[in-house]
Structure 1
């Protein structure tokens, strides 16, 4: 089955501004045309001045040389402005769409990738993709126009010279780039792999430096990153070796073209003016200026094509998302309250462990998922949030599958509190407003006070305007948990899923906070459904909450109560 070139498909992501790109091409063509005209006029002027005519006969040519010399630099500057503006806007548009598709697409596409790999793809690969506009499309378009113009000009003087120039231009503009691209493609994938491995090792060192330093493994991780960087450079060097032959061919083609022009010029010297012969000799030198960039353009096309494939592997096929959105959506239940129902198998497609889930959560229910690390608590919450599709069965909200809901409706109904949610290197206010942008300062202050951060807030030098330099590095682990929990309090989602909200807190504070989270009269009112995944429950709380087992695949127990304190009915219990 025929599949379009990845670069053609990537135009949907880049959305280049064609008028601006056309302006860049026009400025590039005019700039090199000025160089071509400058060579021709200079050749005429030098030869004509040798004949010592009246000075007025040379005045027009003198002015033209200055005009072409100045216009070449000005037009080249304008071309750089237009082309870089186009590329930067295209990169911004591509990143915006990638972020949107990652947020709305299938989470399993990114769940299997390390943070460093995501940074590499969304950062470096998008840059490589947008560079195709400046370093490939623009040089190719300019070279094509200038080559035709040069051959046409020489053809007016001599058809044999024009044929020689055309053949040399084909070698410099087609054969040399093809060799360069072929050599680069053979090693680029290997270089990309080293690049990604370097980013992964670097992100591990940056994100977990304190823990690695305590364990004595930080130097080894840094050395591993340096090794990947060295391997990456070696792989790029190997990729450049075949391309070097392609880069040398334009120079050889220039020499062959000039030599051919000399031979032809000797043959027609008796029938043409000396000024014409000078133009015939010097014009080919400027004709190849546009083709010298084509080998690098071919290599850039290869890199951009590989980057496009990696990006489409990351965001998936847009047609899949459209097909899911096109499924018939049943009407919403008219019961007046939300019911989150999960009868499914939770897990990642290639993971060794999966969890059978059978839960029904009416509006206002409280549910605690307990167990040691690795038993599947986070996987259950991610499945309930619709961030990971169920391996089998379905998760429904008022009888509707989560996959049938609009993204805005799903995220406005279910809020997932990730244990490693990001703290941005900006103000405290902005870190809280990411969940809801219309919050007032009074609401922000109240949320911080309710999670126990009143004293911390009063100690900040600029209050809510204090910048958290370094993001999470500016707060302790416990303060980070409370700050993230304040975000959840500010949200208006009726269903809240909390993953390890009391991690890094002392036992007494953790027990008190779990009481507040699971008590219908605590942090969340009885009108909100709360699901908490934690390593343990306070003894006094666990004693009043009947157990509800999910399956033997999960090492802990799931327990819950309704909003009014009634125990979950026995027929909900399932132990497989």
Structure 2
């Protein structure tokens, strides 16, 4: 992939429909050819009318002027319809490919990025890449074809004027766009970074507003988002100022081309008809119409190249081939881990684990100790800093996707609740569950009365997703997903958070008992702040890492862990929220 133009990889992501793209180009060429013909016929009509011929001699020209004027607008409208339809379809294809690559590719490709950066890449960057078709590829192609046609037509009348026109078209269509591209290239990368960091800060404010408000940092996070928005605007303005210099070049080229046509027309005035001289002088004005969009097209190519590079970095097209899934006995899944987990080396945990089928393990420790990062590493969602994780002697990274999901399942404390029915929110983990099984599972996690009170039972739509549930109901619904999942090793992150003390202890006991909520052959690992008394399970206690939270009095540090890749103070901190 190194050395390859990112735009080629971006084109592979878009996969535009070439017939429709060629149709849009053809319509664009015909539209500008209508403008070129309109200028020529108008020049002939004006000059011929000055000679006061019989009116019937002008009838065809009058009709032609009207036809070319109408066809120019109609063809341009049709070209916009076809080109935008092609670009929108290509953007949808690109997003589908990115989602597919993220689903089937290395699992840490998305985990290493903040959700705000993911939104910026899958949203804004895909749009910038698709804009390449409408704002760069088509204008460049249409301008190239029209420039050749205009030069050939002028050459029939005056080769000298055609040579001048060709040189001016090169200045307006090649030199000016190149200057614009060079002026924008240095600025666009900075602008894109500010845009991404703005989205990170905005999503942090939206996702963690209660915690940040309690910590007193919500205004600072909002101010950070606003600062990034202003910085993004300044970077774009800086690029526009430099591009303005390049934008003057086409105007100068138009003036030079027109002046050359006038000089050439004066030189051949005695040898040709006045109507021919008028056509020679007016045609260059229409010939330059196609080149006016090329500086902006060059800037768009720069933006699309940056967007393509970020998208390929997020979802690379080539992944190491995984071997075919190996069959493991469903009741004999053993997990061995000797890893150093964490998001960076300064905040890591070294752990060695051996879990037999049916084992129960509780990982305890204060916030910031690394419990969530350890669970994600055991699930294969976060690459270990060092060491390896094996299931029945097979490394996680070489397991097939289906086998990995049916072997190890990680259930986060803040997993997404979809704005659809209760049934669909449970079927996301296993699609073959019947309604009786779904109802029984909800009753086992303590949501039986809640389900009975819903107007449509399992068919009730959770409007707004998690907003339709209390924090405790959301935890129990996510726990129901874990019970329904086919995973033989279940990793639960803070499953009893936001429950009252009594219910939390009862639920934790049921989780770590064997058998309990989970069958005896399934391995259960629970990350929690504390265990209830008389809990019969293995326990792994993680000490807080350097700089991690240890209790009260750490309000500012806690808030900084909730802010994205850079804090309000500008100091670095972990990208992912700790447990």
Q: TM-score, normalised by structure 2?
A: 0.89
What's the offset of the Cα at 1:346?
3.2
CA contact (8 A) 1:395 1:402 kept: yes
CA contact (8 A) 2:410 2:491 kept: yes
| Counterpart among 390, 396, 412 of residue 396 in structure 1 | 390
In structure 2, do the counterparts of structure 1 residues 417 and 58 end up closer, same or farther at CA, with 3 Å as the change threshold?
same
In 1: Cα distance, 2:252 partner to 2:339 partner? 65
Q: 1:161-215 CA deviation, whole Å, 9 max, x = no partner?
A: 1111111111111111111111111211221222122111111111122233334
> What is the correspondence of 1:67-86 to structure 2 with a 5 Å cutoff?
67-86=67-86
CA contact (8 A) 1:108 1:348 kept: no
What's the offset of the Cα at 1:551?
9.6
Q: Secondary structure at the match of 1:539?
A: coil
CA contact (8 A) 1:356 1:553 kept: no
What's the offset of the Cα at 1:349?
6.2
In 2: Cα distance, 1:157 partner to 1:29 partner? 22
In structure 2, do the counterparts of structure 1 residues 423 and 552 end up closer, same or farther at CA, with 3 Å as the change threshold?
closer
In 1: Cα distance, 2:127 partner to 2:330 partner? 49
Q: Is 2:532 the counterpart of 1:505?
A: no
What's the offset of the Cα at 1:28?
1.0
Q: Is 2:58 the counterpart of 1:58?
A: yes
Q: Is 2:306 the counterpart of 1:337?
A: no
Q: Secondary structure at the match of 1:305?
A: helix
| Counterpart among 475, 479, 494 of residue 485 in structure 1 | 479
In 2: Cα distance, 1:62 partner to 1:89 partner? 41
> What is the correspondence of 1:428-443 to structure 2 with a 5 Å cutoff?
428-443=422-437
Q: Is 2:358 the counterpart of 1:378?
A: no
Q: TM-score, normalised by structure 1?
A: 0.89
Aligned to 2:8: 8
In 1: Cα distance, 2:77 partner to 2:442 partner? 52
Aligned to 2:20: 20
CA contact (8 A) 2:361 2:539 kept: no
Of 134-143 and 468-477, the range deviating more from structure 2? 468-477
| Counterpart among 492, 510, 514 of residue 516 in structure 1 | 510
In 1: Cα distance, 2:52 partner to 2:332 partner? 96
In 1: Cα distance, 2:464 partner to 2:227 partner? 27
Q: Is 2:88 the counterpart of 1:88?
A: yes
What's the offset of the Cα at 1:332?
4.2
Q: Secondary structure at the match of 2:414?
A: coil
In 2: Cα distance, 1:214 partner to 1:378 partner? 22
Q: Secondary structure at the match of 2:534?
A: helix
In structure 2, do the counterparts of structure 1 residues 425 and 387 end up closer, same or farther at CA, with 3 Å as the change threshold?
same
In 2: Cα distance, 1:526 partner to 1:2 partner? 50
> What is the correspondence of 1:145-294 to structure 2 with a 5 Å cutoff?
145-294=145-294
What's the offset of the Cα at 1:432?
2.5
Of 232-241 and 252-261, the range deviating more from structure 2? 252-261
In 2: Cα distance, 1:276 partner to 1:340 partner? 89
CA contact (8 A) 1:344 1:390 kept: no
What's the offset of the Cα at 1:468?
3.2
Q: Is 2:360 the counterpart of 1:360?
A: no
Runs of 4+ off more than 4 Å: 328-333, 546-555
In 1: Cα distance, 2:37 partner to 2:428 partner? 57
What's the offset of the Cα at 1:263?
1.2
In 2: Cα distance, 1:312 partner to 1:279 partner? 50
> What is the correspondence of 1:455-474 to structure 2 with a 5 Å cutoff?
455-474=449-468
In 1: Cα distance, 2:385 partner to 2:223 partner? 39
In structure 2, do the counterparts of structure 1 residues 134 and 365 end up closer, same or farther at CA, with 3 Å as the change threshold?
same
Of 465-474 and 262-271, the range deviating more from structure 2? 465-474
Query: Once superposed, what is the RMSD of the aligned Cα atoms?
Result: 2.4
Aligned to 1:142: 142
What's the offset of the Cα at 1:389?
2.6
What's the offset of the Cα at 1:457?
2.7
Of 250-259 and 437-446, the range deviating more from structure 2? 437-446
What's the offset of the Cα at 1:488?
2.0
Aligned to 1:561: none
Q: 1:77-134 CA deviation, whole Å, 9 max, x = no partner?
A: 2211221122112211221222222233334443332221111112111111111111
In structure 2, do the counterparts of structure 1 residues 374 and 143 end up closer, same or farther at CA, with 3 Å as the change threshold?
same
What's the offset of the Cα at 1:391?
3.3
Aligned to 2:577: none
In 1: Cα distance, 2:460 partner to 2:427 partner? 14
CA contact (8 A) 1:254 1:288 kept: yes
CA contact (8 A) 2:205 2:212 kept: yes
Aligned to 1:567: none
Structure with the larger RCO, 1 or 2 (CA within 8 Å, 6+ apart): 2
